[in-house]
């Protein structure tokens, strides 16, 4: 997983999100967490933090550099 990937959150798989930032938040008990923003704010008004184990990559980013 990396910034720019298009993802869904398990198990619901409702809506699509873009990974915008990696965060190290051991207070959640998970080694890797990510900040997500919804692709369509009309359907999902806000994103937030999610543990990597609950994220499924739909399409990988092709960011250069």
Q: What is the mean pLDDT of residues 17-27?
A: 86
Beta-bridged to residue 44, according to DSSP, are none
In the block, tokens 């499924």 appear at: 56
The length of the chain, given as a count of residues? 65
- DSSP string of 26-41, one letter each residue: GGGT-S-EEEEEES-T
* Residue 45 confidence (pLDDT): 80
Does residue 25 register a pLDDT over 90?
no
The verdict on pTM exceeding 0.85 is no
């Amino acid at each position: 997983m990396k910034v720019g990937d298009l993802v869904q959150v398990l198990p619901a798989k409702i809506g699509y999100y873009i990974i915008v930032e990696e965060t190290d938040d051991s207070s959640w008990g998970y080694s890797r967490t990510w900040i997500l923003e919804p692709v369509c704010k009309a359907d999902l008004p806000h994103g937030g933090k999610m543990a990597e184990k609950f994220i499924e990559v739909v399409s990988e980013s092709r960011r250069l550099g």
